[in-house]
């Protein structure tokens, strides 16, 4: 019975010892992962070895025990030495910012390394987490180069978390950031503008991420000008003008400021001209009630002596003006002249004409000038320079008077227009066109 009890005691002691050892190793590898847990594990192993040495009955048993323990200690030492080598390789990778090199070294780690040198492998696990976050940041930043600012925000957040949570990986963050910044400007200046605008508004973090500020200063002005040029080509005048103005507002001393200033001018002129063309469509054109300026037009009354004009309304007479006075292109015009319907103007002469219904009582017919009301706008300023009328003279009292009647000829009308020649029409409008 005593022998059986002794054997049970040995088995129970061995089982408890094994369970404690397994628990301590598990806690050491997965939870504590510190120098203190290494010391605790080493102390426990020392206690076990001392206990085993004491239990050895003689010199032969102790030699057998030593022979069994020696390979374990040798393996432990070799694993710790190898883990230290891996740790040195990881340190070099972290200092050079090379995640690929770090992950290649980490592929060599197995459970034996974690037991033998847990602090080194714990640093390796931090590098794994850092590289995973940096890869996510790299993916987000690649998308951000297409102008997606949400992806840009996610990318910078991932970089910031590595700096905050995983110290020692600053160089890796720097390399990832440099890869993104080195891709600026992109091939599309308007996309580059979206990226640099977000970077410019980003609050300083007083770490390596603030290096983006220098890239913005270098990249943004050319991107803004290039984007403005592309928008001009697409006839997006207002958007183009906004991009050029950003250069002047944000980088007034930049070497591209003169080009941006010229871009603002050209975009403004193009926008104004497009707006004027739109207002001049239709009959009657909206321009005659809501005029708009085209700053590129010549001022009214220039030294050229001819204010080429756009005429709208009363084509019967305005179409008879000389070609050199008229234009159909707002880009060549000085004035916009809106003509109303003709009215009776100043009387010129009154003459009697036979009335077929009452032959003994002729009808007196008064010949009047042709009066045309006008609104004259200076295209350069859209100002109403004259709201007037012109009177067109002409021949009166012809020998035979033609007129129209319906059903019954009641005789000629009492008032008719003079018969205006082209010269008469030219004379009436000349003072407007050639002041």
- Over its C-alpha atoms, the chain yields an Rg (Å, rounded) of 48
> 392 pairs with which residues across the strands?
370
Instruction: Using pLDDT thresholds of 50, 70 and 90, give the confidence band for residue 284.
Output: confident
Using 50, 70 and 90 to split pLDDT, how confident is the model at 188?
Answer: very high
| 84 closest CA partner among 57, 112, 121 | 121
Token pair 């594990």 in the structure block, residue: 41
At 326 the pLDDT is: 94
The pLDDT value recorded for residue 262 is 97
Distance CA 375, CA 383 (A): 10
Q: For residues 170 and 270, which has the higher predicted lDDT (pLDDT)?
A: 270
**Residue 378's pLDDT is what?**
95
Q: What is the pLDDT of residue 409?
A: 73
Residue 91 near residue 75, CB atoms below 8 Å: no
CA 244 to chain centre: 13
pLDDT band per the 50, 70, 90 thresholds, residue 304: low
- Which residues sit opposite 173 in a β-bridge? none
| Residues listed for the chain | 435
Do β-strands 309-312 and 335-339 pair in parallel, antiparallel, or remain unpaired?
A: parallel
Residue 242's Cβ-count burial label (10 Å; 0-12, 13-18, 19+) is: middle
Q: Following CA atoms 80, 81, 84, 86 in sequence, which dihedral angle do they give, to the nearest 10 degrees?
A: -100
| Average pLDDT across the chain, whole number | 80
Each residue of 117-134: pLDDT tens digit? 445 555 667 777 888 888
Instruction: Categorize the per-residue pLDDT at 94 as very low, low, confident or very high, splitting at 50, 70 and 90.
Output: low
Q: How confident is the model at residue 104 (pLDDT cuts 50, 70, 90)?
A: low
State the average pLDDT over residues 254-270: 96
Please report the pLDDT score of residue 130 as a whole number: 84
Q: Does residue 331 or residue 91 have the better pLDDT?
A: 331
Number of H helices, E strands in the chain: 14, 6
Q: For 86-105, give the DSSP string.
A: HHHHHHHHHHHT-HHHHHHH
Integer angstrom CA distances of residue 245 from 187, 218, 225, 364, 413: 22, 17, 9, 70, 65
Q: How far apart are CA 136 and CA 158, in angstroms?
A: 7
Q: What's the pLDDT tens digit per position in 147-174?
A: 899 999 999 999 999 999 888 888 889 9
Residue pair 405/354 in contact by the 8 Å Cβ criterion: no
The pair phi, psi for residue 110, each rounded to 5°, is: -135, -175
Segment 185-208 shows an average pLDDT of 93
Question: 365: helix, coil or strand?
Answer: strand
Averaged pLDDT, 236-263: 96
Give the containing element (helix H, strand E) for 84: helix 59-96
Mean pLDDT of 307-322: 93
Burial 208-227 (b: 16+ CB within 10 A, else e): bbeebeebbeebbbbbbbbb
Residue 334 pLDDT > 90: yes
Of residues 282 and 275, which shows the higher confidence score? Answer: 275
Does residue 358 register a pLDDT over 50? yes
- Which pTM does this prediction carry? 0.70
Does residue 205 have a pLDDT over 70?
Answer: yes
Q: What phi and psi values does residue 310 have, to the nearest 5 degrees?
A: -100, 120
Structure letter (DSSP) for residue 31: I
**pLDDT beyond 60 at 273:** yes
Least confident of 40-49, 105-114, 381-390: 105-114
Burial 112-130 (b: 16+ CB within 10 A, else e): ebbbbbbebbbbbebbeeb
Which residue shows structure tokens 């050209």?
266
Query: Given this model, what pLDDT does residue 410 score?
Result: 78
Residue 264 CB-half CA count within 13 A: 13
More confident residue, 345 or 303: 345
Stretch 41-63: mean pLDDT: 53
């Amino acid at each position: 019975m005593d022998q059986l009890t002794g054997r049970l005691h040995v088995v129970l002691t061995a089982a408890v010892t094994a369970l404690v050892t397994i628990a301590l190793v598990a806690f050491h590898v997965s939870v504590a992962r510190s120098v203190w847990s290494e010391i605790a594990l080493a102390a426990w192993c020392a206690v076990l070895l001392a206990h085993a040495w004491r239990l050895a009955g003689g010199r032969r048993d102790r030699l057998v025990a030593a022979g069994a323990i020696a390979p374990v200690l040798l393996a432990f030492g070799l694993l710790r030495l190898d883990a230290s080598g891996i740790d040195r390789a990881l340190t070099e990778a972290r200092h050079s910012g090379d995640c690929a090199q770090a992950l290649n070294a980490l592929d060599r780690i197995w459970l034996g390394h974690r037991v033998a040198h847990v602090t080194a492998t714990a640093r390796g696990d931090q590098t794994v987490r850092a590289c995973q976050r940096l890869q996510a940041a790299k993916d987000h930043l690649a998308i951000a180069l297409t102008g997606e600012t949400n992806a840009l925000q996610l990318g910078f957040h991932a970089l910031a978390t590595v700096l905050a949570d995983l110290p020692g990986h600053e160089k890796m963050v720097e390399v990832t950031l440099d890869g993104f910044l080195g891709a600026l400007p992109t091939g599309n200046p308007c996309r580059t503008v979206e990226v640099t605008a977000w970077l410019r508004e980003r609050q300083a973090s007083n770490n390596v991420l603030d290096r983006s500020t220098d890239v913005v200063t270098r990249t943004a002005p050319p991107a803004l000008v290039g984007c403005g040029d592309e928008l001009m080509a697409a006839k997006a005048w207002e958007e183009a003008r906004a991009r050029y103005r950003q250069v002047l507002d944000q980088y007034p001393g930049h070497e591209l400021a003169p080009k941006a200033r010229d871009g603002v001018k050209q975009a403004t002129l193009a926008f104004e001209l497009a707006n004027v063309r739109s207002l001049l469509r239709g009959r009657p054109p909206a321009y005659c009630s809501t005029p708009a300026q085209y700053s590129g037009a010549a001022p009214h009354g220039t030294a050229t002596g001819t204010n080429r004009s756009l005429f709208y309304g009363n084509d019967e007479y305005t179409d008879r003006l000389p070609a050199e006075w008229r234009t159909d292109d707002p880009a060549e015009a000085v004035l916009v002249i809106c003509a109303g319907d003709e009215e009776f103007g100043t009387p010129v002469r009154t003459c009697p004409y036979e009335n077929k219904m009452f032959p003994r009582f002729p009808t007196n017919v008064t010949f009047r000038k042709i009066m045309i009301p006008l609104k004259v706008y200076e295209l350069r300023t859209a100002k109403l320079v004259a709201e007037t009328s012109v009177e067109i003279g002409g021949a009166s009292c012809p020998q035979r008077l033609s007129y129209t009647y319906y059903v019954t000829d009641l005789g000629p009308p009492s008032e008719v227009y003079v018969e205006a020649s082209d010269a008469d029409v030219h004379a009436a409008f000349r003072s407007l066109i050639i002041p």
